[in-house]
């Protein structure tokens, strides 16, 4: 059994990752630690509670974390991707077009899982100390919570089994700039700080997540066969799929007759924990650019040469996923939810 704390900013694809982790029989989902990102922190926390409630997992802890990046000013939330409520505008009481800054007050009496008294960073630290060497941190939002936990407890890398991050890109074009992925751009200082620490770290970035696409036929199969998990994913994905079908490679595919589809970004990080051999990785010292035209870029030293500038020197190697058996990962995700859904 693999113990996981999922650091998340729910998020349509976050909901997929949460459902995947909850239903897989080899995972014990200990908590959702919540960070700003796809939506503001109040909405993200409420969405985490709502997802757990809908999936019948209200005993999973929720810990509210960072509302803003560690250094830079906050960037706009991606409501054009995830909807005004962060979940494709399916949350009870939400309406398309309601600004995320005001929507957190909607439906305050809805039933939710409980928010822990500790903030996300302290929750991570305490859980790691109580379960030394047993917990894998899976981060699928901006890395502010994990970096703050590391700042408070420098021994954290030795207390966890590993860190798996959905973020960044090496060869694949970025989704928020030509070189940057959204989670890294939202807090590049936090991401860079984590790659300076010596712990087993795996990056699951756009180089692989853009290869693992879910078509509407896959999503409808979940709706029909995966209980409340499938229903939630189907309904929340309507807005998300519409965004993908009108942009980028998915738009090009649709114009050539392909069915509407979307990427399952965050769920791929769960797959990297369960079936790591489905991914092909390279290793090297990693940096994340803090500012300038390339802000948010993952800069990976794949060769280990003696370069003229020292910025990669003395950094431990990080594993970065560069290729994937996309059919295997997609089928594993779908079958897990169909075979093991909670409700």
- C-alpha dihedral, 275 to 251 to 16 to 10, nearest 10°: 130
Q: Are 317 and 302 in contact (CB under 8 A)?
A: no
Share of the chain above pLDDT 70, in %: 92
Structure tokens at 337: 């939810």
Q: Check residues 127 and 91 and name the one with the higher pLDDT.
A: 127
Predicted confidence (pLDDT) at residue 95 exceeds the cutoff of 60: no
Predicted confidence (pLDDT) at residue 109 exceeds the cutoff of 90: no
pTM attached to this predicted model: 0.93
All structural domains of the chain, each given as residue ranges with its CATH number in brackets, are 2-211+264-340 (3.90.245.10)
pLDDT at 286: 98
Predicted confidence (pLDDT) at residue 105 exceeds the cutoff of 50: no
Q: Are 209 and 263 in contact (CB under 8 A)?
A: yes
pLDDT at 282: 98
Q: Check residues 284 and 307 and name the one with the higher pLDDT.
A: 284
Q: Check residues 54 and 33 and name the one with the higher pLDDT.
A: 33
pLDDT at 250: 67
Q: With bands split at pLDDT 50, 70 and 90, how would you rate the model's confidence at 93?
A: low
Q: Which positions are catalytic?
A: 9, 265
Give the tens place of pLDDT for each residue, 131-177: 999 999 999 999 999 999 999 999 999 999 999 999 999 999 999 99
pLDDT at 108: 45
pLDDT at 249: 65
pLDDT at 306: 85
Predicted confidence (pLDDT) at residue 110 exceeds the cutoff of 70: no
Q: With bands split at pLDDT 50, 70 and 90, how would you rate the model's confidence at 60?
A: very high
Predicted confidence (pLDDT) at residue 107 exceeds the cutoff of 60: no
Give the tens place of pLDDT for each residue, 171-190: 999 999 999 999 999 999 99
Predicted confidence (pLDDT) at residue 69 exceeds the cutoff of 50: yes
Average pLDDT over residues 270-283: 98
Q: Which residue has the tokens 């769920």?
A: 267
Q: Are 288 and 299 in contact (CB under 8 A)?
A: yes
Mean pLDDT of the chain, nearest integer: 92
- C-alpha dihedral, 6 to 73 to 157 to 307, nearest 10°: 120
């Amino acid at each position: 059994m693999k113990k996981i704390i999922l650091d998340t900013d729910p998020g349509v694809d976050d909901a997929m990752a949460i459902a995947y982790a909850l239903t897989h029989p080899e995972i014990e989902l200990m908590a959702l630690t919540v960070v700003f990102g796809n939506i503001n922190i109040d909405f993200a926390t409420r969405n985490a509670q709502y997802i757990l409630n809908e999936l019948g997992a209200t005993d999973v802890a929720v810990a509210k974390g960072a509302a803003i990046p560690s250094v830079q000013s906050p960037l706009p939330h991606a409501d054009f991707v995830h909807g005004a409520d962060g979940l494709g505008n399916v949350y009870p009481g939400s309406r398309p077009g309601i600004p995320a800054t005001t929507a957190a007050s909607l439906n305050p009496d809805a039933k939710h899982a409980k928010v822990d008294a500790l903030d996300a960073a302290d929750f991570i630290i305490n859980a790691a100390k109580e379960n030394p060497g047993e917990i894998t941190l899976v981060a699928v939002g901006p890395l502010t919570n994990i970096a703050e936990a590391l700042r408070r407890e420098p021994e954290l890398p030795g207390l966890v089994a590993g860190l798996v991050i959905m973020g960044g890109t090496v060869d694949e074009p970025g989704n928020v700039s030509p070189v940057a992925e959204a989670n890294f751009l939202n807090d590049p200082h936090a991401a860079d700080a984590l790659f300076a620490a010596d712990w087993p770290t795996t990056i699951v970035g756009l180089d692989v997540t853009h290869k693992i696409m879910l078509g509407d036929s896959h999503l409808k199969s979940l709706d029909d066969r995966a209980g409340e998990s499938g229903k939630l994913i189907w309904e929340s994905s309507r807005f998300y799929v519409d965004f993908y079908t009108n942009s980028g490679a998915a738009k090009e595919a649709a114009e050539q007759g392909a069915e509407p589809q979307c990427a399952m970004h965050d769920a791929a990080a769960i797959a990297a924990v369960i079936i790591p051999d489905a991914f092909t990785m390279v290793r090297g010292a990693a940096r994340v650019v803090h500012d300038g035209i390339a802000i948010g870029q993952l800069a990976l030293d794949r060769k280990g040469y003696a370069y003229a500038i020292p910025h990669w020197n003395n950094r431990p190697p990080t594993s970065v996923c560069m290729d994937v058996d996309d059919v295997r990962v997609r089928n594993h995700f779908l079958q897990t939810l169909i075979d093991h859904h909670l409700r």
